[in-house]
Amino acid sequence: MFMDKKEGLDEIVERRDIYYPAFGIYGEIAGFYDFGPIGLRIRKRIEDAWRALFVEEIGAIEIETANLLPEQALKASGHVSAFTDPIATCTVCKTPYRVDKLLEEFYEKSGEKKSASEVKRLNADQIAERAGTAGLKCTKCGGKLSKIEKFNLMFKTTVGQGDVTAYLRPETAQSIFLDFKNLFRSQGLRLPAIISQKGRAYRNEISARQQLVRMREFTQMDTEIFFDVQAEQDDLGYISSSEVLKTRVRFISAGEENETEESLENLLKSGRIPNTYFAYLIYLEKRLLMRMGITEDKYRFRQLEKEELPHYSKGNVDLEISTHYGYIEVAGNAHRSDFDLSNHSKFSGEDLGVVGNNGKVMPQIIEATLGMDRLFFALLDNAVSDDERGWQWLKLNEHMAPYTYAIFPLQKDEKIIGKAKELRSKLAAKGIQCYYSETASIGKRYAKADEIGVPHCITVDFQTLEDSTVTVRDRNTTKQDRIALSEIA
């Protein structure tokens, strides 16, 4: 029974509560999701893989910071004035639209791929002009759209009795910049210094959609490299720059539509990436996707056009993964220069410069921000498999699977159940996480384990009590083998 990837994923996600709209009993507010036990476990696998590379291996320190930022900090960062999207509202049904996305979709449906790709490079006036020429209307009722206005994407609030204005942070990076100088001193850091964190960020999206692709509350995994632009660029951790620069990636250069396969060394020499630290982060992202089991034909790196760049950036390269929604951005790599530290120094009156190799310096910053939710969605989307077994299932590798084993007692017999629970406890003591179930037929339990991506099912039966062997079923092949318990636990 074949269904397309989207239908298959939707069915698995809904049936197993992998993720679902938040506060559903009061009616859904788009852009907010909760994660069930299976989804949470898979997300933790992604987080562990990220931390192994972007904290431990690269030699970063990791912090955790507050979700609220004072208005002054976000004025300094430019978010109060520049963190906006073009919005228009239907004059009839009052549905709001992000006009650049609406225009892009209009061109794509019209088969004008070149015009669709150009939208990313248009400024606000050009978007308004083209929207008028295209005659964009409300996609729900066909009503006329209002005049385009700028809409700030941050959630605004007040602290205490309203005397302090603050915002839910639109990115995790700013908190790292605010803490940088204290951490540099207290942790005995030297340049290049690397600080990472995983945390929540918030954006009041005009039209949250496409499930986890465009959310209003989401998780970022952020790494910031602070360096002295005048100093020689060092190797990071035990990774040599020569190894990094040999790495090849699929790349789309600014102004181009087609991909080429390039070495990071060539990208560096041509100026499409700014320095070796930037190359390190792309190298680590490629290794993260390998760990996640996402094959090289499913992702690419894209250099942003000048008009696409965030207000703080001197150059960005996005990591994009193919899904049934098309390619989606899952990570942004940015050269932030000294924009953030210099502005926070100016607005706060606190000098955030530190001592580098050649005296006092205001560090420049290279950044990699990965979106956990989009990575998680892309992983699931690319893991959906369909074969003759009659149901769709998640072909997750063992690094990403929510459990290593599923343990099933074949009959509802006290001795068999006791043996199965004993096996689960022994494996748990070794740090091996197991899914356990006694309910439903063994066939239905196999199907459920397949759906949530468990690689191996262990069935305990009467023969287990006699000779200490169990049946082990492989998820990918459905092949079953009889092996000794001692080989497992």
Residues forming beta bridges with residue 88, ordered by sequence position: 97
List the domain boundaries for the chain.
5-82+154-384, 87-152, 403-487
When computed from its CA atoms, the radius of gyration of the chain, rounded to whole angstroms, is 25
Alpha helices in 384-441, H assignment, sequence order: 414-429
Q: What is the pLDDT of residue 432?
A: 95
Q: What is the pLDDT of residue 199?
A: 97
DSSP line for 113-141? HHHHHHGGG--HHHHHHHHHHHT-B-TTT
| Contact (CB, 8 A) for 222 and 255 | no
End-to-end Cα, the chain, rounded Å: 37
Q: What is the pLDDT of residue 345?
A: 97
* 3-class secondary-structure state, position 97: strand
Whether the bond into 192 is cis, omega within 30 of 0? yes
| Contact (CB, 8 A) for 42 and 376 | yes
The pTM assigned to this predicted structure is 0.91
Identical fold between 87-152 and 403-487:
no
Both tokens of residue 237? 């951790």
Closest by CA position to 125, among listed 101, 149, 152: 149
CA dihedral in degrees (474, 476, 477, 481; nearest 10)? -10
Mean pLDDT, consecutive 10-residue segments, the chain of 489 residues?
70 94 90 96 98 96 97 94 87 88 87 82 81 87 88 92 91 97 96 97 88 95 95 80 92 92 96 95 98 97 87 90 95 96 96 90 97 98 86 94 97 95 96 94 95 97 96 96 91
* 3-class secondary-structure state, position 202: strand
5-82+154-384 is classed in which CATH architecture?
2-Layer Sandwich (3.30)
- Tell the CATH topology of 403-487: Rossmann fold (3.40.50)
Burial 318-328 (b: 16+ CB within 10 A, else e): bbbbbbeeebb
What is the distance between the alpha carbons of residues 275 and 284, in angstroms, rounded to a whole number?
15
Reading phi first (left if > 0) and then psi (alpha if -120 to 50, else beta), residue 265 is in alpha
Q: What is the pLDDT of residue 1?
A: 44
Q: What is the pLDDT of residue 4?
A: 66
What is the distance between the alpha carbons of residues 288 and 278, in angstroms, rounded to a whole number?
16
Percent helix, strand, coil in the chain, to 5, is 35, 30, 35
Residues forming beta bridges with residue 185, ordered by sequence position: none
Q: What is the pLDDT of residue 5?
A: 67
Both tokens of residue 370? 């990965």
What is the distance between the alpha carbons of residues 150 and 455, in angstroms, rounded to a whole number?
49
Q: Which CATH number fits domain 87-152: 3.30.40.230, 3.40.50.2300, 3.40.50.1970, 3.20.20.80?
A: 3.30.40.230
| Contact (CB, 8 A) for 235 and 241 | yes
Closest by CA position to 392, among listed 12, 41, 24: 12
